[in-house]
Structure 1
Amino acid sequence: MASKRINFFLIVLSLIASQAIVAADFRLPENPGDSLIGDKMSSGQSHPDEHFYTTAKEEDTLLDIARQFNLGQTEIVLANPTVDRWLPKEGTRVRIPNARLLPNAPRKGVVINLPEYRMYYYSGDGSHTVTTHPISIGRLDWKTPLGKTRIATKTRNPTWTPPESIKREHAERGDFLPNVVPAGPDNPLGLYAMRLGVPGYLIHSTNKPFGVGMSVTHGCIRMYPEDIEKLFPRVSVGTDV
């Protein structure tokens, strides 16, 4: 009985630790001039751990592990250059980056760090926290625009009207898009979309989550479905981006 209690206690501790590790909300540095954040900061330590390790299971891909730990594909591949992204051996130690530098930008609203494939959201509610999520951005020939804009509209279960340029691109591959893609799980916008003040660009969910953390879009910003589901109700129309 004592052994069972000990095992149960260890499992609970493991679950608590995992939940803390994958958290997307981090406390801002007490000194406004500091930019380093990480999970260990919530426990009062001034210097967060740079990384930690998890162990690949038999059914895992490196991309599955990235999604579990709030990372994008490029980030986890760069952190584990010798690990096969599709077939990591069972028991392989996988490095999980656990600290990052806040972008050199006003800590207000939504901040997109394109080279990092990452979004930061400052709620401005007095909680002194920042929320961060991996994102996909535009390809080299369809770059995500630079500059300041705002959240113009928010839509649940959006439809998608493909621009003529994207319809032509797909048609060249023999994939003929309809004039309007209905809402639902097969919609490339996913179940949530936030239109930006820059015409034609959105922050939205995706039906291809393995592409999160890469330059694969036509300029829009894609998020994991579970990430934008949490972020969507927190971000108001008019929020700075």
Structure 2
Amino acid sequence: MSMILRTGPERRPVGALAALRALAVWTLMAGGLAACTTVKTVEAPPPAPAPAPAPDPVGQSLHRVVYDPAQGDLIGRVQTTIATHEDTFVDLARRFNVGYEELARANPGVDPWLPGEGRRIILPTAFILPHAPREGIVINIAAMRLFYFPARKANEPQVIYTFPIGIGRVGFATPEGTTKVLRKAKDPIWRPGPGVRAEHAKDGEILPAVVAAGPDNPLGNRAMYLGWAGYLIHGTNKPAGVGLRSSHGCIRLFPEDVELLYELVKPGEKVTVVNQPFVFGWRGDALHLQAFDVLEDDPRDWNKATRKLLSRTFARELEKKLQERNQQIDWDAVQRLGRDPHGVPVPIAGGASTLETVLADAARVRNAVPSGATWTAAPGGSP
């Protein structure tokens, strides 16, 4: 029986009160312990993986360019890509529609047969249009490049096609001047001239008088015969020779390029061949110079009379533009570019860029075979 403590009119059972207090404390403790034992530690989720870097954009194709004369004389842009361990300059040149010499000139000091995995390669895919009438086919043999200006239709923009070419070797120089396309032929037959047959005979190779169409025919599968007897614009069975002095005077194109050009050009169209190792042109308010190596058999003495020879290439319109802009040519820059040509356009008046900044600012593009190409399936394949 509980003992009753009397302290005035109110009476409380001491034992019951203590029991209630003990029960409350135990309940709280038990509940707290139960809560501790049932709460699980939640680990933070692992950090999300970093997003994969965006792939390099596809390079700008220069087979076909929409040209606005109001924008100046330049087409394209300088680009850069990253070589794989299998790449050679022969592979990269065809992949990006440039010639072997163009690529070698833009990348001095790089081994053309083993550039190396991860090597940054400059792609010289910007061009100043030659100083010549912009109609029909225009060829700059110093640049080893062909430009085609199809007739412009009313209310349509001007379009330009450009391709790297192989030209005549020393002793078999490609002629300069103006002619026209006489006729075209698919799967042409090759009739080597006496001089060509004699040269091959010295090396122990006896050429037949007639070489039938097929894989052994150096004309490839398309030919355009010029007004100059014995000279053609044609394909090749040796694509590695495009961008080199590799022919007996004819103009060689990659097989895929000659097929495209063949469909565009009509008999009777004008052909202009110039030899311009230094090409000037405007982009915006800046005058640019694109310098190439002087051909070994060029009779002009560029080393002794560079400024005089270059001045002859200035049209009155160009001189007038310089005067209107109160600009002067940086002849020191011209001399530097002439001594060490890289084959990319560089401002020489009205622009702050230098060769170094032009190369540093080149857009990086994907090292990939062009879509639809049939000549190789993956980077590194020899064309």
TM-score, normalization: structure 2?
A: 0.55
Q: Distance in 1 between matches of 2:119 and 2:204?
A: 40
Q: Distance in 1 between matches of 2:61 and 2:103?
A: 14
Q: Distance in 2 between matches of 1:211 and 1:96?
A: 18
Judge conservation of contact 1:29–1:37 (CA < 8 Å) in 2.
Answer: no
Greater CA drift, 195-204 or 179-188: 179-188
Q: Distance in 2 between matches of 1:106 and 1:151?
A: 16
Q: Does 1:22 align with 2:52?
A: no
Q: What is the RMSD of the two structures over their aligned residues, measured on CA atoms?
A: 1.8
**SS of the residue 1:21 aligns to:** coil
- CA deviation string 1:14-59 (max 9, x = no partner): 5xx42x5133111223328x21111xxxxxxxxxx4x221011122
Give the unaligned 5+ runs of structure 1.
39-48
2:264 paired residue among 206, 231, 234: 234
1:66 paired residue among 71, 74, 93: 93
Kindly report which structure 2 residues correspond to 1:97-136, keeping only aligned pairs within 5 A, or say none: 97-126=124-153, 127-136=157-166
Q: Distance in 2 between matches of 1:182 and 1:145?
A: 26
- Structure number, greater radius of gyration: 2
1:82 paired residue among 106, 109, 112: 109
1:57 paired residue among 63, 80, 84: 84
Judge conservation of contact 1:22–1:68 (CA < 8 Å) in 2.
Answer: no
Which residue of 2 is the match for residue 218 of structure 1? 248
Which residue of 1 is the match for residue 194 of structure 2? 164
Q: Distance in 2 between matches of 1:143 and 1:77?
A: 21
Which residue of 2 is the match for residue 43 of structure 1? none
Which residue of 1 is the match for residue 42 of structure 2? none
Judge conservation of contact 2:166–2:245 (CA < 8 Å) in 1.
Answer: yes
Which residue of 1 is the match for residue 358 of structure 2? none
Which residue of 1 is the match for residue 209 of structure 2? 179
Q: Does 1:31 align with 2:82?
A: no
Judge conservation of contact 1:206–1:223 (CA < 8 Å) in 2.
Answer: yes
Give the unaligned 5+ runs of structure 2.
1-47, 272-383
Q: Distance in 1 between matches of 2:129 and 2:226?
A: 22
Which residue of 1 is the match for residue 233 of structure 2? 203
**SS of the residue 2:179 aligns to:** coil
Q: Distance in 1 between matches of 2:127 and 2:228?
A: 28
Q: Distance in 1 between matches of 2:238 and 2:85?
A: 22
Greater CA drift, 190-199 or 54-63: 54-63
Instruction: Find runs of 4+ consecutive structure 1 residues off by over 2 angstroms.
Output: none
Judge conservation of contact 1:29–1:36 (CA < 8 Å) in 2.
Answer: no
The structural deviation recorded for 1:215 is: 1.4
Judge conservation of contact 1:137–1:220 (CA < 8 Å) in 2.
Answer: yes
Which residue of 1 is the match for residue 184 of structure 2? 154
- CA deviation string 1:147-195 (max 9, x = no partner): 1101101000011111111111101100111111110122000000000
**SS of the residue 2:263 aligns to:** coil
Q: Distance in 2 between matches of 1:139 and 1:23?
A: 26
Greater CA drift, 131-140 or 20-29: 20-29
- CA deviation string 1:191-237 (max 9, x = no partner): 00000011000000011111111112111000011101111111001
Q: Distance in 1 between matches of 2:258 and 2:233?
A: 9
2:219 paired residue among 185, 189, 192: 189
Which residue of 2 is the match for residue 45 of structure 1? none
The structural deviation recorded for 1:125 is: 3.2
The structural deviation recorded for 1:10 is: 4.8
Judge conservation of contact 2:62–2:162 (CA < 8 Å) in 1.
Answer: no
